[in-house]
Amino acid sequence: MPDFQVWISAHQLRFEDVLRKLLPAADIAPQRLHAAMRYSVLDGGKRVRPLLAFAAGELAGADITRVNYAAAAVELIHAYSLVHDDMPCMDDDVLRRGKPTCHVEYDEATALLVGDALQSLAFQMLSDTTLTADPARQLKMVKLLAVASGSRGMAGGQAFDLASVGKQLDVSELEFMHIHKTGALIRAAILLGAYCGDTLSDAHFDKLDHYGKCVGLAFQVVDDVLDAEADTATLGKTAGKDADNDKPTYVTLLGAVDAKKMAAELHQEALQSLSEFGDKAQRLRELADFIVMRKY
């Protein structure tokens, strides 16, 4: 089995090429919209969600060409959420993935359309006939991503986030917000990757889903710590935004020491959920380590 860093780099490189081919070319009309879509998706990002889908796909013995479509669908939803989140009506940020945000580089109307078009393209990927040989399973996957990204998932979490500015939340309210805003898509990435492979038992899906819940929340706790402690150059996005926007975070609520403790506990719980899978879950274990120990 190749070293984890080699595995990550190989997938990141290969997946960049997949995205490059799946996105409409910049010389196809409407050129400006297509160029802005490519600008927002390509050449940036850690690709954590696709990596989770590839690792879950490996666990389920999935054909990688199938997982490519599922991983692309999730990454396109993620990219759309970042473009919209950065707009003046939401977080109003100028820097993302080390470059000007989409509405700064292009304009607000284009950024709005980029998000819309990326979301549609995501579902186009998920409805591709090469995704699975089983139409019923494919419909299940479409529904899974729709729920994870809609008002009962990411978009709902974002609504809760916008409504929480300047408010005092308790830990369970903060957890509710992040399980939806950040966690839902991360969980979906893992399950979609697994659905591309051999059928796992319901009990195994439950274990994987619990792993996803833990790493999804841990991802956000670490994000809050990094926002408070890391610098803008390392993050590639504006550091200290949460405090500037008067947003409740795990750091403001628990303090940095306890927030890190919480991330460590979630990390352990995530690893425990994989105990029955043996070596096949090695990449998912390493990704849990990566998510909790990341520096950007």
Residues at the site binding ligand GRG, with contacts judged by CB under 6 A: 45-46, 48, 81-82, 84-85, 97, 154-155, 158, 181-182, 220, 223
Residue 215 CB, shortest distance to ligand GRG, in Å, is: 12
Q: Closest CB to ligand GRG among 87 and 200?
A: 87
Q: Cα dist. 96→83, 84, 208, 238 in Å? A: 9, 12, 30, 8
Please report the sign of the dihedral spanned by the C-alpha atoms of residue 268, residue 273, residue 278, residue 283.
negative
Q: Closest CB to ligand GRG among 41 and 200?
A: 41
Residue 182 — φ and ψ, nearest 5°? -110, -40
Q: Closest CB to ligand GRG among 82 and 214?
A: 82
Residue 220 CB, shortest distance to ligand GRG, in Å, is: 6
Six token digits for residue 190 = 């893992």
Q: Closest CB to ligand GRG among 189 and 200?
A: 189
Q: Closest CB to ligand GRG among 24 and 236?
A: 236
Extract the runs of DSSP E, i.e. beta strands, from 46-204.
95-96, 99-100
Residue 119 CB, shortest distance to ligand GRG, in Å, is: 9
**What gap in Å lies between CA 79 and CA 113, rounded to an integer?**
12
State the DSSP string of 125-162. HHT-TTS-S-HHHHHHHHHHHHHHHSTTTHHHHHHHHH
Quick check: 259 and 214 in contact, CB under 8 A?
no
Q: Which residue is nearest to ligand GRG (CB)?
A: 45
Q: Closest CB to ligand GRG among 183 and 197?
A: 183
Residue 85 CB, shortest distance to ligand GRG, in Å, is: 4
Residue 255 CB, shortest distance to ligand GRG, in Å, is: 19
Extract the runs of DSSP E, i.e. beta strands, from the chain.
95-96, 99-100
Distance of CA 199 to the CA centre of its chain: 24
Contact residues for 203 (Cβ-Cβ < 8 A; gap 6+): none
Residue 200 CB, shortest distance to ligand GRG, in Å, is: 25
Residue 68 CB, shortest distance to ligand GRG, in Å, is: 17
Residue 242 C-beta-side C-alpha neighbours within 13 Å? 20
Q: Closest CB to ligand GRG among 160 and 205?
A: 160
Contact residues for 48 (Cβ-Cβ < 8 A; gap 6+): 186, 219, 287, 290, 291
